[in-house]
């Protein structure tokens, strides 16, 4: 007769510990981090990180920088990949299918909203793919839908917040869903980026790359695509 199964909280703790051990090894050996603006990331409540997307290791860098478990929204194609699936399942990522299945897309966005409501950090790469040029691409509107779902549940009749109100609540302890813009710099040129028109199959220019992760000031849940993209672009200009 088998013994009792570990509780879900214990399983999550063990999974997070395994992910963090892997992340620690990668960042110490190959991608030392310079983290700015970490004080903008709440220690406990749920938030949405909106980041640029430069390489296939961005999730590792953001997980290390945030100092909290981060759940990522990723393409279902990558989620189902045999060589990636063991890692992404442990990391509790949220798969999203292609846009030709709108009902499943809506369910994935709802899962993101539920995770934020439950106090998790969720991260989306709003460009919808890895940059092929090293430059910031246009943002897609998926994260707007996520925050609309969150706001509908948490405050169905409330008016949209101002930037100042959102920033005050990050310091006074009031629970409110926030958007945190994030900029990754220094990753372009690595073998895991598309620098040189190739992914992975190229000689690395250097074995260790100093990467900067810049967390911006919190934005209100109703922040638009243009506002959030401008915030990420401004953070990139500081690196």
pLDDT in tens, 29-57: 789 999 999 999 998 899 999 999 999 89
Output the pLDDT for position 101. Answer: 77
pLDDT of residue 53: 97
* Residue 54 CA to its chain's centroid (Å): 13
Q: How far is CA 238 from the centre of its chain?
A: 20
Using CA atoms, how far apart are residues 60 and 87, in angstroms rounded to an integer?
A: 11
pLDDT confidence tier of residue 9, bands split at 50, 70 and 90? low
182 strand-pairing partners: 51, 215
Nearest Cα to Cα of residue 66 among 121, 130, 18, 11: 121
pTM of the model: 0.82
Here the tokens at position 225 are 């695509």
Q: What is the Cα–Cα distance from 219 to 7, expressed in whole angstroms?
A: 35
| Across 110-133, average pLDDT | 95
- Residue 73 pairs in a beta bridge with 94
pLDDT at residue number 124: 97
- Higher local confidence (pLDDT), 84 or 118: 118
* Mean pLDDT across 71-94: 78
Residue 6 has pLDDT above 70, yes or no: no
Residue whose C-alpha is closest to residue 167's, from 37, 35, 34: 37
Place of tokens 């509780």: 7
Over residues 79-95, the mean pLDDT reads 75
Q: How far apart are CA 198 and CA 221, in angstroms?
A: 37
Residue whose tokens read 């539920």: 114
- Decide if pLDDT at 105 tops 60: yes
74: alpha, beta or left? (left if phi > 0; alpha if psi -120 to 50): beta
By the 8 A CB rule, do 64 and 33 touch? yes
Helix count and strand count (H, E) for the chain: 8, 7
Burial of 20 (0-12, 13-18, 19+ CB in 10 A): middle
In what helix (H) or strand (E) does residue 227 lie, and over which residues does it extend? helix 225-237
């Amino acid at each position: 007769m088998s013994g009792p199964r570990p509780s879900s909280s214990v399983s999550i703790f063990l999974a997070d510990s395994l992910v963090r051990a892997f992340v620690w090894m990668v960042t110490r050996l190959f991608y030392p981090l310079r983290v700015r603006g970490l004080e903008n990331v709440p220690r406990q409540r749920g938030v949405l990180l909106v980041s640029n997307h430069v390489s296939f290791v961005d999730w590792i860098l953001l997980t290390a920088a945030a100092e909290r478990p981060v759940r990522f929204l990723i393409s279902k194609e990558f989620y189902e990949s045999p060589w990636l699936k063991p890692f992404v399942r442990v990391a509790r990522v949220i798969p999203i299918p292609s846009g030709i299945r709108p009902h499943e897309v809506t369910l994935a966005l709802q899962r993101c909203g539920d995770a934020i409501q439950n106090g998790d950090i969720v991260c989306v790469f709003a460009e919808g793919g890895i940059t092929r040029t090293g430059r910031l691409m246009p943002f897609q509107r998926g994260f707007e839908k996520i925050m609309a779902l969150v706001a509908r549940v948490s405050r169905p009749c409330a008016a949209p917040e101002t930037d100042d109100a959102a920033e005050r609540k990050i310091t006074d302890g009031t629970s409110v869903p926030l958007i945190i813009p994030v900029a990754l710099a220094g990753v372009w040129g690595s073998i895991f980026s598309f620098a040189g028109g190739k992914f992975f199959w190229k000689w690395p220019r250097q074995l260790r790359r100093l990467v900067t992760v810049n967390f911006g000031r919190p934005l209100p849940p109703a922040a638009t695509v243009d506002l959030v993209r401008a915030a990420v672009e401004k953070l990139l200009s500081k690196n």
